[in-house]
Amino acid sequence: MGSSLSACCSSEKVDEERATREIGGGQASWRIFSYKELQTATNGFSDDNLLGEGGFGSVYWGKTSDGLQIAVKKLKAMNSKAEMEFAVEVEVLGRVRHKNLLGLRGYYAGADQRLIVYDYMPNLSLLSHLHGQFASEVQLDWKRRMKVAIGSAEGLLYLHHEVTPHIIHRDIKASNVLLDSDFEPLVADFGFAKLIPEGVSHMTTRVKGTLGYLAPEYAMWGKVSESCDVYSFGILLLELVTGRKPIEKLPGGVKRTITEWAEPLITKGKLKELADPKLRGNFDEAQLKQAINVAALCVKSEPEKRPKMKEVVDILKGYEAKARLTPLRMESVRYKEELLALDQASDEEGDGEADESNNGYGVFSAIEVQKMQDPYKVLGERRTAKYR
Ligand SMILES: Nc1ncnc2c1ncn2[C@@H]1O[C@H](COP(=O)(O)OP(=O)(O)OP(=O)(O)O)[C@@H](O)[C@H]1O
Ligand SMILES: [Mg+2]
């Protein structure tokens, strides 16, 4: 952890000047807020202001005295884990600056409270448009979906390859892609981010993230690398073009991943049937094929066979039209039953549409799964059966 971070988290009185840093040649300015200021802005963290709740805290809409609309994330519990989340988030946010990444507006660090302040994104999250309160309005037409796909891929490309040290996000999912007034996507939530030291190709870590988006090698063995984000991006892309949830609970209680649903349709060449029915046939067929191709590459079970984000961006932009694109097949992934059992969100899912604040979309709040102890011995045979 950098020294600036230890300063910010250990003391309430941080010199505001130190909070304004030169990043990438531009001014990335964020400041320290007082608790009172954020309390007033959010109407006392009122339920009416609640935008939603995640695994680690609640997010409130607010307006500062100078008229700026903000989103304030109030971390749930101040234990050492929450402290670490906060520390990582502030450290990472302070480093990044990209049009497709949600930067930091400021924070408050008190004795028993941690608050993170972001710009408020008026079109909320991709989740709210695909499966939440805006889903029926279908504001996400095909063009916007492609813009969301390319923009979020560019944000990830920056994290993986342009910022130093490289950053693995580890929680790419629809609720962490926010949409500005112009439907430009901004990837949010770097609390899970992992800073990668120079020259390290992968690390082993406790598994954090959201089940439907987790790469198999990460879910099972905690093996984390940039390609875990690439996998999650593939799931996000499939979700974006199909309007399906990463894991669905079928009648009878069986849970099915989006890749299990898509694989047979792709194999039979029924690509048009993959497009979100809400689009009513209004999509560009070539782009749909391109997007499904990219998703199929991203969700390959072997991490080294997945593309880098640069290739993903190039294909989505049409720069690399023929590259690696034939024959079109998708590998489907089925998580182990123990992991699926942790997926409480889809267990609670009803038939109707859920309210964004209760997290009930059949996508998952953050989970933390203890790494399996001797994966090769215990799971080797099963892995062969399920993933190859
Ligand atoms: N800057 C923002 N503008 C508008 N809505 C936001 C903003 N930041 C977060 N939200 C919304 O608030 C809700 C809660 O966000 P939060 O990040 O706490 O949880 P999450 O993304 O659902 O899960 P996780 O804890 O795994 O990230 C989400 O629906 C998110 O899209
Ligand atoms: Mg989030």
| Ligand 1 touching residue 235 (CB < 6 A) | no
| Ligand 1 touching residue 185 (CB < 6 A) | no
Judgement on whether residues 223 and 351 belong to the same structural domain of the protein: yes
| Ligand 1 touching residue 349 (CB < 6 A) | no
What's the CA gap between 165 and 197, in Å, rounded? 6
Site to substitute for ligand 1 among 125, 130, 186, most atoms within 8 A of C-beta? 125
| Ligand 1 touching residue 175 (CB < 6 A) | yes
Which of residues 274 and 322 earns the better pLDDT score? 274
Q: Residue 10: pLDDT band by 50, 70, 90 thresholds?
A: very low
Ligand 1 atom nearest the C-alpha of 54 is 19
Judgement on whether residues 252 and 192 belong to the same structural domain of the protein: yes
Site to substitute for ligand 1 among 61, 176, 211, most atoms within 8 A of C-beta? 176
171 is catalytic: yes
Per-residue pLDDT of 336-346, as tens digits, reads 777 777 665 55
Q: Which domain holds residue 99?
A: 3-119
Ligand 1 atom nearest the C-alpha of 191 is 27
Handedness of CA 380, 381, 386, 388 (dihedral sign): positive
Q: Token pair for residue 204?
A: 């082993």
* CATH number for the domain that contains residue 238: 1.10.510.10
- pLDDT value of position 14: 39
Q: Look at residues 96, 119, 142 and tell me which one is the last residue of a structural domain.
A: 119
Q: Give the residue, by CA position, lying nearest to ligand 1 atom 8.
A: 71
Q: Give the residue, by CA position, lying nearest to ligand 1 atom 27.
A: 54
What's the gap between Cα 90 and its chain centre?
17
Judgement on whether residues 55 and 94 belong to the same structural domain of the protein: yes
Judgement on whether residues 197 and 260 belong to the same structural domain of the protein: yes
Q: Give the residue, by CA position, lying nearest to ligand 1 atom 23.
A: 54
Tell me if 94 sits within 8 A of 4, measured CB to CB. yes
| Ligand 1 touching residue 55 (CB < 6 A) | yes
Say how many Å lie between the CA of residue 59 and the centre of ligand 2: 9
Question: Which member of 47, 66, 119, 171 is catalytic?
Answer: 171
Judgement on whether residues 85 and 150 belong to the same structural domain of the protein: no
Q: Look at residues 84, 119, 154 and tell me which one is the last residue of a structural domain.
A: 119
* CATH number for the domain that contains residue 97: 3.30.200.20
Residue at token pair 């093996």: 223
Per-residue pLDDT of 178-227, as tens digits, reads 999 999 999 998 765 655 555 555 555 555 567 789 998 888 888 889 99
Per-residue pLDDT of 104-129, as tens digits, reads 888 898 878 889 899 999 999 999 99
| 74 known member of a binding site | yes
Per-residue pLDDT of 219-265, as tens digits, reads 888 888 999 999 999 999 999 999 999 999 899 888 899 999 999 99
Strands (E) in 76-153, as ranges, are 104-109, 114-119
The mean per-residue pLDDT over the stretch 60-71 comes to 96
Judgement on whether residues 87 and 143 belong to the same structural domain of the protein: no
How many independent structural domains does the chain possess?
2
Q: Give the residue, by CA position, lying nearest to ligand 1 atom 21.
A: 175
Q: Look at residues 71, 104, 119 and tell me which one is the last residue of a structural domain.
A: 119
| Ligand 1 touching residue 366 (CB < 6 A) | yes
Tell me if 292 sits within 8 A of 269, measured CB to CB. no
> Does the pLDDT value for residue 326 go beyond 80?
no
Strand-strand pairing, 31-32 and 104-109: parallel
